[in-house]
Amino acid sequence: MYKILAAGIASLMIALGISRFAFTPMLPLMKSDLHISNILAGNLASVNYAGYFAGAVLSAVSVRYNRYKILLANLSINVLTTLAMGLTSSHLLWFILRFCSGFSSAFIFVAASVLVLDKLIEMKNIHAFGYIYGGVGIGIVMTAVAIPVFNYMGGVYASWIGLGILSLFLCIFPIMWLKEDTSIRDYAASDEILPQIVKNSGEKIIQNTGFKKVNSVKFDSNTIKLMIAYGLFGTGYIIMGTFMVAMMQEITHNFYFGITAWLVAGIAATPSTVFWSILGKSWGNLTALKLAFGLQIAGLIISLVSKNLTMLYIGAFFFGLTFMGIVTLVMNLGKQLYKGHNTKLVGYLTAFFGLGQIIGPVLGGYAAKYFGNFKDMMIAAVIVLTAALLLLFDMKADTFN
């Protein structure tokens, strides 16, 4: 079982911790060494999320057969696109590489998740499945530790190449331990028997098939508010998720303080999905979701009003603790709304969240360019997240009892 979990964790470290989120600590280096603008930075982040969104949609219907081959192919693409970022200074090629990186990340996420889930079903250890999502936080921690070393060795280009080599090394684990025996079955047991993996533009949720499936969506007050709130969350959180290290560097005038904040965020993110799932069961998903939003907003406000290093790290901790947990809680709320797994509702939620993530960095980049700093951009993120929280407070709580 431990080998299977290690392979799943390594896959998510590659696809999300490195390929997706390494751009955040790389951004200050690209700004200082390559003199890229905040607008270009925001657009590069958005095109990566657009690639992930496209990949998530396509993988939903294509990752059914030959999942191991699909995983290997997309691991190869992902490693090569990360490496290639260190081999060119062409902005056009950067856009292509970041889109392909996001696209392949989605396929890695889905294929690895289904392969791990199938193997755990065979071992009767399905309860351990959620632990693989700690790979996102562990990957963030790895980038926070590795990038300063690579940068010292050779600057921004060496950093991208070093990250690609790290990803290549991590590929060893899914290659060795996620092989599937197609002579036994060519269709995932997890697709038919137990929980379904739902792609949510970077995050995940397990839908327990102990509930009935419901395929119609009633656009009542609670459903509409949840979808809008989730879209606003996608816009608000990703601004911090893209510009955190750059903002911390602007406040502290020290890159290493910014990268340490990213390290703190990764540490907090590692156990976050398990933490919020437990809290959601104990307090109720809606109450836990309000708390998660409140903590994320508090973290952003702390980063805005304080120049104290400890307080800035607390703000980063709150961000890391909440951003993945909110995804889990929103999906659980959707399940509660319909007393079962509703594929269409999940699709709508995913679309709102995914579009929010694509829009957020573009708006953030233009705001940073217009105002000349990151402070006003973060104020906008606080406003957007507060609007989402107010929608949650306006939802009828008795629906979820």
**CATH 1.20.1250.20 is the classification of domain 201-401:** yes
Collect all residues with Cβ–Cβ distance below 8 Å to 309 and sequence separation of at least 6: 252, 257
When pLDDT is averaged across residues 224-239 and rounded to a whole number, the result is: 93
When pLDDT is averaged across residues 323-333 and rounded to a whole number, the result is: 88
Q: What's the pLDDT score for residue 342?
A: 54
pLDDT, one tens digit per residue, over 162-210 is 999 999 999 999 999 998 766 554 444 444 433 344 434 334 433 433 3
pLDDT bucket at 221, cuts 50 / 70 / 90: confident
pLDDT, one tens digit per residue, over 31-40 is 999 999 999 9
Q: What's the pLDDT score for residue 204?
A: 43
Which pTM does this prediction carry? 0.88
pLDDT, one tens digit per residue, over 329-360 is 988 888 777 665 556 777 788 888 889 999 99
* Packed helices 272-283 and 285-305: angle between N→C axes, nearest 10 degrees: 130
The better pLDDT of the pair 339, 394 is held by: 394
10 Å CB burial of residue 171 (0-12, 13-18, 19+) is buried
CA angle (51 as vertex; 48, 53 as ends), nearest 5: 110
pLDDT, one tens digit per residue, over 266-314 is 999 999 989 998 999 999 999 999 999 999 999 999 988 888 999 999 9
Query: What is the CATH topology of the domain spanning 1-197?
Result: Growth Hormone; Chain: A; (1.20.1250)
Tell me which residue of 263, 318, 272 sits closest to 139, measured CA to CA: 263
Q: Could you give the percent of the chain with pLDDT greater than 70?
A: 87
Average pLDDT value for the chain: 87
When pLDDT is averaged across residues 211-231 and rounded to a whole number, the result is: 75
Q: What's the pLDDT score for residue 340?
A: 54
User: 1-197 with 201-401: one CATH topology?
Assistant: yes
Question: Domain residues of the chain, as ranges?
Answer: 1-197, 201-401
Q: What's the pLDDT score for residue 262?
A: 96
Q: What's the pLDDT score for residue 359?
A: 94
CB 297 within 8 A of CB 386: yes
**Residue 215 clears pLDDT 60, i.e. is over it:** no
- Cβ neighbour number for residue 175 with a 10 Å cutoff: 15
